[in-house]
């Protein structure tokens, strides 16, 4: 079998993103694809030798049990260059050293990534060049549009991967199979039968040393504007003809274009809060405002919640609530679809009638369906029970799937440029209201379920 050639350049190879996420994901991919001959080049600011970088690669690969000839080849041949990634001469040197047209992964702060893209405009670029960028994709509608225009001057849209590792999760992708391969779900996947949809991503983790980025972003931009709106688009999309990149991303874009803040009023459709000192699962945590690197006067939220509407025939009147927070009592990552109650329960049945709720968990990878059944004791009494199913073992790293798409030229799991713009448009009224203090910044104790006055969702 002939080897599949690939060249991957990681700009920012000495950073945390590379060692913690990219390289383990790459190791898992290469451990499965022993026909791939990968040329790996790392570029960064650290004063490393090739051997120093290979040790980092080896540690990451060993953590995911990467074995076989493809992994061994990359462990032993990876190279590293300490250089300024915004220098056109450096970028030309890197591209020219590649065996085939490379994929360039920008594991860089947003401003540096933009500067590197500007430098790429002055470089002779091969036809198959692929670019991969981490969110955020701009800081508002105008900057996202400007970034799209800049990238379009470099390569075609289908060679741009705006990385959303949430869309690399098998669980989210399995939504397509759950909906469209089961006749029992798709006919009732609409406003006639569904009361509301909640998408929650709550963490027990606090800031974890990320003040440099997080304190200028907050929970709304960090999680909702990018990740959760993309998840929502998969939940709400119309059936695509295929799972090809064009069909899949067209279907998501149609949803996002139809999405707006519920009622158009941030004061009634958004909430924000940040944590004070407390105890999270036995670990003492300082108040967010006291975390190293935080500027308290910025009023950065660590818990954000917005409710949106999707103005299509399928979803008219169904509220979609998206929530994400840090330093909360429990780790909760789920999509909760709450169905409307039965039109009528026959006289004679007793007990509490609960709405059916389908829960798709992002971690662990499983689903549950809450249904009303006759109790084991009194056959006339209704009780709630859960039917559960596992999606799989959930062992595939998100970045393994992201990198597979990048190296195989499949952008279906990435965010298309127009969708990145729509994400900023949707949250723009909320950001404006929060910056004007039109929505109060509530507080909650670290390790609690959130502010005491907030009604639970899901």
Active-site amino acid positions: 227
The span from the CA of 115 to the CA of 137, in Å, is: 14
Where on the phi/psi map is residue 282: left (φ > 0), alpha (ψ -120 to 50), or beta?
Answer: left
Q: Which two tokens stand for residue 115?
A: 């500067």
Contact assessment for residue 132 and residue 103, using Cβ atoms and an 8 Å cutoff: yes
What percent of the chain is helix, strand and coil (3-state, nearest 5)?
40, 25, 35
Q: Which two tokens stand for residue 205?
A: 């983790």
Helices within 80-124 (DSSP H only): 88-96, 110-120
Angstrom distances, CA of residue 85 to CA of 25, 44, 150, 409, 424: 23, 8, 17, 23, 28
The span from the CA of 332 to the CA of 160, in Å, is: 32
* Residue 130, H or E segment: strand 130-134
Contact assessment for residue 39 and residue 7, using Cβ atoms and an 8 Å cutoff: yes
Q: Which two tokens stand for residue 174?
A: 């399995």
The span from the CA of 46 to the CA of 417, in Å, is: 32
Rounded to 5°, the CA angle 267-198-336 comes to: 165
Instruction: Note if the bond before 136 is cis, omega within 30 degrees.
Output: yes
Contact assessment for residue 372 and residue 393, using Cβ atoms and an 8 Å cutoff: no
Handedness of CA 433, 438, 443, 447 (dihedral sign): negative
User: Can you list the positions of beta strands (E) in 286-424?
Assistant: 303-310, 319-325, 332-339, 350-351, 357-361, 366-374, 381-390
Contact assessment for residue 100 and residue 76, using Cβ atoms and an 8 Å cutoff: no
Tokens 């199913």 — which residue?
A: 389
* Helix, coil or strand: residue 191: coil
Contact assessment for residue 370 and residue 338, using Cβ atoms and an 8 Å cutoff: no
Contact assessment for residue 98 and residue 59, using Cβ atoms and an 8 Å cutoff: no
| Ordered strands of the 4-11 beta sheet | 79-82, 36-44, 4-11, 103-106, 130-134, 160-163
Q: Which two tokens stand for residue 330?
A: 């429990």
């Amino acid at each position: 079998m002939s080897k599949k050639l690939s060249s991957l350049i990681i700009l920012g190879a000495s950073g945390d993103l590379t060692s913690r996420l990219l390289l383990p994901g790459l190791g898992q991919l290469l451990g499965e694809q022993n026909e791939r001959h990968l040329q790996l080049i790392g570029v960064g600011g650290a004063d490393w030798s090739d051997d120093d970088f290979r040790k980092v690669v080896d540690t990451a690969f060993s953590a995911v049990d990467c074995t076989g000839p493809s992994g061994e080849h990359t462990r032993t041949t990876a190279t590293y260059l300490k250089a300024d990634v915004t220098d056109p001469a450096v970028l030309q040197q890197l591209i020219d050293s590649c065996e085939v047209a490379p994929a360039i992964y920008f594991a860089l702060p947003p401003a540096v990534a933009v500067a590197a893209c500007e430098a790429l405009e002055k470089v002779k670029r091969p036809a198959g060049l692929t670019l991969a960028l981490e969110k955020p994709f701009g800081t508002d509608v105008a900057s996202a549009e400007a970034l799209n225009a800049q990238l379009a001057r470099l390569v075609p849209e289908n060679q741009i991967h705006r990385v959303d590792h949430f869309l690399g999760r098998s669980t989210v992708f399995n939504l397509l199979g759950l909906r469209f391969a089961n006749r029992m779900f798709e006919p009732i996947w609409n406003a006639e039968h569904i009361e509301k949809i909640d998408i929650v991503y709550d963490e027990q983790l606090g800031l974890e040393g990320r003040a440099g980025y997080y304190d200028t972003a907050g929970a709304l931009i960090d999680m909702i504007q990018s990740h959760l709106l993309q998840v929502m688009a998969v939940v709400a999309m119309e059936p695509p003809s295929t799972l090809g990149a064009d069909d899949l991303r067209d279907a998501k874009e149609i949803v996002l274009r139809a999405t707006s803040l519920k009622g158009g009023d941030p004061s009634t459709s958004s909430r924000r809060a940040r944590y004070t000192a407390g105890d999270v699962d036995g670990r003492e945590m300082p108040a967010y405002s006291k975390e190293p690197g935080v500027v308290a006067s910025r009023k950065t939220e660590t818990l954000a919640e917005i409710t949106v509407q999707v103005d299509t025939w399928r979803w008219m009147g169904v509220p979609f609530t998206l929530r994400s927070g840090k330093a909360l009592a429990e780790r909760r990552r789920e999509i909760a679809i709450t169905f409307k109650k039965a039109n009528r329960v026959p006289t004679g049945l007793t007990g509490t009638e609960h709405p059916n709720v389908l829960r798709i968990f992002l971690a662990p990878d499983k689903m549950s369906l809450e249904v009303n059944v006759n109790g084991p004791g009194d056959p006339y009494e209704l009780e709630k029970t859960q039917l559960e199913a596992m999606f799989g073992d959930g062992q595939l790293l998100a970045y393994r799937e992201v990198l597979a798409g990048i190296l195989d030229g499949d952008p279906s799991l990435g965010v298309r440029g127009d969708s990145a713009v729509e994400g900023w448009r949707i949250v723009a009224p909320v950001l404006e209201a929060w910056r004007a203090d039109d929505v109060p910044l509530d507080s909650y104790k670290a390790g609690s379920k959130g502010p005491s006055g907030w009604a639970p969702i899901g």
